[in-house]
Structure 1
Amino acid sequence: MKNRDLLIGFATGVAATFVVKELVDRNQKLYPADEVLKQVKNSFKEEGPIDGSWIYMKTEPYTQHAVTTDVYKGGITRHRDDELEQFEFMADAFTGAVVEVSKV
């Protein structure tokens, strides 16, 4: 009987650990400088070289059509046809997906 109780306790602990880890991973934000900015820069590099980039390290709430999420704001600068182009972007803090890009 004691071995069975020990096995049940161990299995319960493992299951609880797995559930807690999944919940934490779902709500964890990406680190902006390492992941979000890198993803956005790689997307812009497909169209040509970039000169500079920046990103705010704090998230801001962003609402679009009754859906609210936290986003990182940032920007990209590049030269195209001897003309300076500047873009501002907002990227989802949880997935890194770009939700809005605007030319400045």
Structure 2
Amino acid sequence: MKNRDLLIGFATGAVTAFLVKEAYDRKEKLYSADDVLKQVKSAFKEEGPIDGSWIFMKTEPYKQHAVTTEVYKGGITRHRQDQLEQFEFLADAYTGAVLEVKKV
């Protein structure tokens, strides 16, 4: 085996490893659905106790105007002034930020 062949093999391996690492690092990591739900529950608890909550563990695509992202969909239930209130929310799966809350 010539030194030139060994050097070419080493360079090819190094370049391949670098490209695989870059591709892995670019892949954005999702927040866990549980962490998003804890954050939303915490915000609602500041206004009073909540009775129940839920979240879909699988993300859904969400498009608003020209922006598309993945979101978690969930809900909160609470009693306020002897009336049941239900809310649904959408939270960005990449940042955990709540994008929309609507009363049902």
Give yes or no for TM over 0.5: yes
CA distance in 1, matches of 2:21, 2:75: 38
Number of positions where the alignment pairs a residue of Structure 1 with one of Structure 2? 91
Q: Counterpart in 2 of 1:23? A: 26
Give the aligned residue type for 1:31: S
CA distance in 1, matches of 2:91, 2:41: 12
Tell me the CA shift for residue 53 of structure 1: 0.2
Name stretches of at least 5 consecutive residues in structure 2 with no aligned partner.
Answer: 1-10
SS of 2:53 mapped into structure 1: strand
Q: Counterpart in 1 of 2:63? A: 63
Q: 1:81 to 1:31 in 2, by over 3 A?
A: same
Tell me the CA shift for residue 97 of structure 1: 0.4
Give the aligned residue type for 1:59: T
CA distance in 2, matches of 1:87, 1:32: 17
Q: Could you say which structure has the larger radius of gyration?
A: 2
Tell me the CA shift for residue 41 of structure 1: 0.6
SS of 1:47 mapped into structure 2: coil
Percent identical across equivalent pairs? 65
Superposed, 1:12-91 pairs within 5 Å as 16=18, 19=22, 22-24=25-27, 27-33=28-34, 35-91=35-91
Q: Counterpart in 2 of 1:93? A: 93
TM-score (norm 2): 0.76
Give the aligned residue type for 2:89: F
CA distance in 1, matches of 2:24, 2:61: 25
CA distance in 2, matches of 1:30, 1:18: 21
TM-score (norm 1): 0.76
SS of 1:49 mapped into structure 2: coil
Name stretches of at least 5 consecutive residues in structure 1 with no aligned partner.
Answer: 1-8
SS of 1:28 mapped into structure 2: coil
CA distance in 2, matches of 1:60, 1:39: 19
Give the aligned residue type for 2:88: E
